[in-house]
Amino acid sequence: MKKINEVLTPQAPAFKEKVLQFGEGNFLRAFADWMINRANAQGHFDGSIVLCQPIAQGMGKVINGQDGMYTLVMRGIENGQAVEKIEPNTSVSRCINPYEDYEALLAMARSEDLKVVVSNTTEAGISYKAGDKLTDRPAQSFPAKVCAFLYERYKTFNGAADRGLLFLPVELIDNNGANLLRIVLQYAEEWGLEERFQTWVKESNHFCSTLVDRIVTGYPGDALEYFYNKIGYEDKCLVTSEVFNLWVIEGKKEWAEILPIHKTDANVIWTEDVTPYKKRKVRILNGGHTSTVLAAYLSGHNIVLEMMQDPLFEKFLDQLLYEEIIPTLDLPKEELMQFASDVKDRFRNPYIKHKLLDISLNSCSKWCARCMPSLLGYVKEKGELPKALAFSLAAFIRFYKGTMKDGSYQGIRKDGTVYTIKDDGEVLAYFAKLWAEKEEEDIAEAVLCHKEFWDGTDLNAVAGLTSLVASYLKALKEKDVKEVLASLLA
């Protein structure tokens, strides 16, 4: 079978190298690079992407061996139907390894064509590392690399205001852009770089905080024959993802014209405040997962798709999303309803086998961050208890009914399946002791008043919540999960 660069022609050589991307992995190639490739194809942009390995070991040689080209396969549900979309990406010009060729990175800093820097260096990437120096080739931490890169650019163009860059980090930390800027300036101060440079960094460059959302399933090593036959060539950088995509960028609207990916059909939102969108994602997408999967697992389901194919659990999810969570959020209702509908389609994706037990990891802290704000917000808004959220809290407590065996805490569901409960040791020990010594009513009271679980909140103070959760726990002791849930939703 022919290789990709024996079949396709790269588009990148026709464009100037306007984008530098720290990170050559699956996520950015299936997300940001896909959007840029679309903008090029649709006539909204005319720039290619230079990838840069953030660590010494990476995919640079493989990517360069394919002339920067690769294929993205997006699979999921659209309008109720399973779809599979194949899009070759021909907008990457090359990949730099700064650990082997640091001068190539500095040359990008000196480029008149460069406009944008995108990054994904893992959550730990935007952090300070003591000992990094300006003379390192390269420095270890990503912010130190950026500081040295910007200093080279500043010197080259004598601090010209129009030579600043647009920074779009996608690392999964809060305020990623603001934190990157803060640490870059920390290095500038530590290295004794002139005040004029620090002013140029702050005033001539745009560091945007962003929120990203797309499940990227990566290289389909177990299905290569199927994909190669479908696309008609060999592609060692093939990447798969879901269809859904969302990039929320916090910054001035005019900055969007620097990289006009919002003009394509990609889901890109420029806003002055990313917070409401972050809350929407945490409450609806993440909260939708956390509030349903434990009950679904206890009922006998093993993956999210199975749960969504059960009419009872779809009804449960609808009650949670549309009746109890959305009323607590402050974005336009139409946007929230559409996002919830998209979430349901994502949960129904037949190409993703998302195990419920994988989602159950650290459910104690997840329920606190993702579900508790919706519960408290509903009580404040409606003056009554949200029954579905209260049931999800009871299901969480029941799921954590475990005993120590062979070095781990294990629970047993009604069909006899033994499962491992994964959380902090102190959390698991607390639940094991409660279940060994107390009855359901006392267990509910003890868990709800354990402020360490609930960010300092005593949930017993929520009128009626303790007795409602206790009643669900008693019902789960005597009846099947589905029977209890059906009664709640009747």
pLDDT in tens, 380-409: 999 999 999 999 999 999 999 999 999 999
CATH architecture assignment, domain 4-271: 3-Layer(aba) Sandwich (3.40)
Q: What is the model's pLDDT at position 5?
A: 96
What's the 3-state SS for 315-360? HHHHHHHHHHHHHHCCCCHHHHHHHHHHHHHHHCCCCCCCEHHHHC
SS3 96: strand
Domain edges within the chain: 4-271, 296-489
Q: What is the model's pLDDT at position 401?
A: 98
Q: In angstroms, rounded to a whole number, what is the distance separating the alpha carbons of residues 281 and 267? A: 14
Residue 123 has pLDDT above 80, yes or no: no
CA 148 to chain centre: 29
Whole-number percent of the chain with pLDDT over 70: 100
Answer whether 4-271 and 296-489 agree in fold. Answer: no
Q: Which residue has the tokens 């998302």?
A: 354
Q: Assign 172 a pLDDT band (cuts: 50, 70, 90).
A: very high
User: CATH class for domain 296-489?
Assistant: mainly alpha
Q: Report pLDDT digits (tens) over 319-363.
A: 999 999 999 999 999 999 999 999 999 999 999 999 999 999 999
Q: Assign 427 a pLDDT band (cuts: 50, 70, 90).
A: very high
The per-residue pLDDT of the chain, averaged, comes to 97
* C-alpha triplet 370, 373, 375: angle, nearest 5°: 105
Q: Assign 124 a pLDDT band (cuts: 50, 70, 90).
A: confident
Q: Report pLDDT digits (tens) over 268-313.
A: 999 999 999 999 999 999 999 999 999 999 999 999 999 999 999 9
Please state the pTM of the whole predicted model.
0.94
